[in-house]
Amino acid sequence: MGYISSDTISLIRERTDIISVIGEYVHLINSSGRTYKALCPFHKEKTPSFIVNPDKQIYHCFGCGKGGDVFGFLMDIEHLTFPEVVKFLAAKNGIEIPKDYDPEAEKREDLYKVLDEAASLYEKALYTEEGKIARDYLEKREIKADTIKKFRIGYAPDSWGYLTNSIGREYKLLSAMEKVDLVKKRDNGNGCYDTFRNRLMIPILDIHGRVAGFGGRVFSAEQEPKYLNSSESETFNKRKMLFNFREALPTIRRQNSAIVVEGYMDVISLWQSGITNAVASLGTAIGTEQIQLLARNSKTKDLNLYFCYDADEAGQKATIRAISIQKDSPINARVVVWDHPELYKDPDEYIKGEGVENFKKMLEKAEDIYTFLVNKRTRGMKPPFEIPVKEKLIQEFKELVQEIQSPIAKSEVIRKLSRLLDIEPNVLEKEFESKRVEGSELSKKANNTVSPELNAEIQRQEWIIKYLLEQPEEIDMVKNVLTADDFTDSQLRAIYEAICMYQDAAGGTLKPAEILAMLDNEKLVSRLSELVTTLEDKPEVPLKECIQGLIRRRLEKKLKLLQKRIRDAESSGDDTAIAQISMEQLEVKRQFDVLINSH
């Protein structure tokens, strides 16, 4: 099946009776006038916690967190692809999927054609006289001929018009090349010039094996930037793609493990050495969507994910960031700790110096993320520690330990800290079970320790999301008075941003089930379906009241910060700063008074 228009998908969704479809798999009971309840088909339970809302065309299980629309339900329960579900539901509802000429689909096909042609031209240029600089570089990096062919590595000549002269200057061709960032318009509007010049060219393929973009690498440290990647386009989305993902996928599934490295050349070097489950992010640190992409394609629930970033400071910072965003993903994350970091900065150098077998041994010794964080924080510190140092370390590690879901992992980390700090394990365990440190709001909620103030704050944010789902015409008004930062719950903030973005693009015509279908993060889908289902039968909190509550919190926080700045200025005797900050404080108080009086 080719391209399926959004109008066709919307028509299928509207014609489909979600109760009828899900009712073929579970026994649904009308629990209230608006919702149906059943035992969840995705996990074992004795009390029904699986809710279906026919008005919103969504479902949610309060037991396992599964949620979504009718398309997602069938994809999960029947293990079908999205096109397969569309075809099935279209046939079920007597809807014919148009097979007519689709100009938009043809335009996209033109983009892929021009990208593939560019890749072929770069491959040919590699073997020209001018391409010797690239061949010499590959020889220096010990990249073999069959590896070069496998990854379609090429060379972009040091020319402003190599592609336009080779592919053509027709408007249609130039337009396609510009859309995928192969060429750029000149500032004077007179023609185009090549984006990539005098660079080693590495094609980046999508999941279907099509060239979606390029990474161009320099040949010397003097050239900047080191990697120049294609800009975002209809074919290339940096946040949702990984270099070598398609080729690595069979090994990832077979071994249930993936290695994440920094550079394309690291992936290529590992592949050449027989390690074929390595991927790299596209010019930026790995993100949530890329980790979810790996997690969704694992053979079992918990994918073994090895972070193998460079040994330098930048690489270690990237490791910390990767650890922070993987917590909510169903993966078993480990960090490769470098042998001889003073000698080798990346996987490519290490394999050349120590061999692939030693690299595999280093992988086997990779630390779990909690051990890595403890060791990194205490590296260079020599026990015994004084009591104030122990107390400080306990506070720093408290949230880390409380985030650990596995009882075994939590016990091991407590045992490790017990030895390090010379404190009895049961004493540490009691300390870590005490009230969470500030900032872990979601975990407080999970442990039923949410304060009434925080609970009310989260509920205001949830009601605003529900209002925007059902009344998209209010989005512009809300965006004028609130920012994404006003949503203190990270998941609600991401949902708010997604609703605004998708509704803006669709002119405010999307329904709740369509928003759900567009979210490709399982945690967000679950949270949104839970939110809609939970608030359905609760007394409404007025939108204006919710907005004012968020603004009040923002102003109160600002007043506290200004008060602290005044105290600091008083301590240093800076009268000018005191006067300036006091004026800011008066303005915030005025805004606060206006807000209070607007009730």
* Mean pLDDT in residue range 509-520: 85
Question: Would you tell me the crossing angle of helices 387-403 and 407-421 to the nearest 10 degrees?
Answer: 170
* Mean pLDDT in residue range 470-474: 86
Say how far apart CA 282 and CA 205 lie, in whole Å: 11
What pLDDT was estimated at residue 183? 95
What pLDDT was estimated at residue 405? 65
Residue type, 446: A
Q: Where are the beta strands (DSSP E) in 206-294?
A: 211-217, 227-229, 257-261, 278-280
Six-digit token string for 576: 């000018």
Indicate the range of 250-254, 426-430, 559-563 predicted with least confidence: 559-563
The H or E element containing residue 202 is strand 199-205
Distances (CA, A) of 363 to 299, 344, 359: 20, 15, 6
What pLDDT was estimated at residue 561? 81
Q: What is the CA radius of gyration of the chain?
A: 28
* Mean pLDDT in residue range 321-343: 77
pLDDT per residue as tens digits for the range 122-174? 999 999 999 999 999 999 999 999 999 999 999 999 999 999 999 988 888 99
Per-residue burial over 165-196, b = 16 or more CB atoms within 10 Å of its CB, e = otherwise? eebeeeeebbebbbbbbbbeeeeeeeebebbb
**Confidence band of 226 (pLDDT split at 50, 70, 90):** confident
299, pLDDT greater than 60 = no
* Mean pLDDT in residue range 567-589: 75
> Given 3-state DSSP classes, what are the helix, strand and coil percentages for the chain, each rounded to the nearest 5?
55, 10, 35
Indicate the range of 142-146, 351-355, 577-581 predicted with least confidence: 577-581
Structure-model confidence comparison of residues 4 and 348, the more confident one: 348
Q: What is the average pLDDT score of the chain?
A: 83
* Mean pLDDT in residue range 541-563: 83
Q: DSSP letter at 98?
A: P
Structure-model confidence comparison of residues 454 and 538, the more confident one: 538
Distances (CA, A) of 472 to 106, 241, 313, 515: 32, 30, 45, 11
What pLDDT was estimated at residue 269? 95
**Confidence band of 24 (pLDDT split at 50, 70, 90):** confident
Say how far apart CA 577 and CA 155 lie, in whole Å: 57
Q: Could you give the percent of the chain with pLDDT greater than 90?
A: 29
What pLDDT was estimated at residue 229? 93
250 prior amide bond cis, ω within 30: no
H runs (alpha helix) in 196-263: 245-255
* Cβ–Cβ < 8 Å for 564, 474: no
H runs (alpha helix) in 188-278: 245-255, 264-272
Indicate the range of 209-223, 428-442, 544-558 predicted with least confidence: 428-442
425 prior amide bond cis, ω within 30: no
* Mean pLDDT in residue range 465-481: 86
What are the phi and psi torsion angles at 51 (to 5°)?
A: -115, 135
What pLDDT was estimated at residue 105? 55
pLDDT per residue as tens digits for the range 107-127? 778 899 999 999 999 999 999
pLDDT per residue as tens digits for the range 174-190? 999 999 999 999 888 78
Structure-model confidence comparison of residues 594 and 60, the more confident one: 60
* Mean pLDDT in residue range 548-564: 82
1, pLDDT greater than 70 = no
Say how far apart CA 515 and CA 77 lie, in whole Å: 21
381, pLDDT greater than 60 = yes
What pLDDT was estimated at residue 446? 38
What are the phi and psi torsion angles at 225 (to 5°)?
A: -75, 165
Range of 14-18, 92-96, 120-124 with top mean pLDDT: 120-124
What pLDDT was estimated at residue 449? 37
* Mean pLDDT in residue range 532-559: 81
Say how far apart CA 517 and CA 86 lie, in whole Å: 13
* Assessment of whether the complete model's pTM goes beyond 0.75: no
Six-digit token string for 421: 């700090």
* Mean pLDDT in residue range 461-467: 89
**Confidence band of 100 (pLDDT split at 50, 70, 90):** low
Distance spanning both ends of the chain, measured CA to CA: 56
H runs (alpha helix) in 471-511: 475-481, 490-506
590, pLDDT greater than 70 = no
What pLDDT was estimated at residue 515? 87
Distances (CA, A) of 418 to 165, 350, 383, 394, 575: 68, 34, 12, 10, 49
What pLDDT was estimated at residue 18? 93
What pLDDT was estimated at residue 378? 78
Say how far apart CA 178 and CA 98 lie, in whole Å: 30
What pLDDT was estimated at residue 136? 96
**Confidence band of 434 (pLDDT split at 50, 70, 90):** low
Q: Which residue has the tokens 């071994």?
A: 255
* Mean pLDDT in residue range 61-70: 91
Q: Other C-beta atoms within 10 Å of 355: how many?
A: 12
What pLDDT was estimated at residue 45? 74
Say how far apart CA 105 and CA 234 lie, in whole Å: 11
H runs (alpha helix) in 439-542: 441-446, 452-470, 475-481, 490-506, 512-518, 522-535
213, pLDDT greater than 90 = yes
* Cβ–Cβ < 8 Å for 250, 231: no
Give every CB contact of residue 469 below 8 A, 6+ residues apart in sequence: 499, 512, 515, 532
Q: Other C-beta atoms within 10 Å of 67: how many?
A: 26
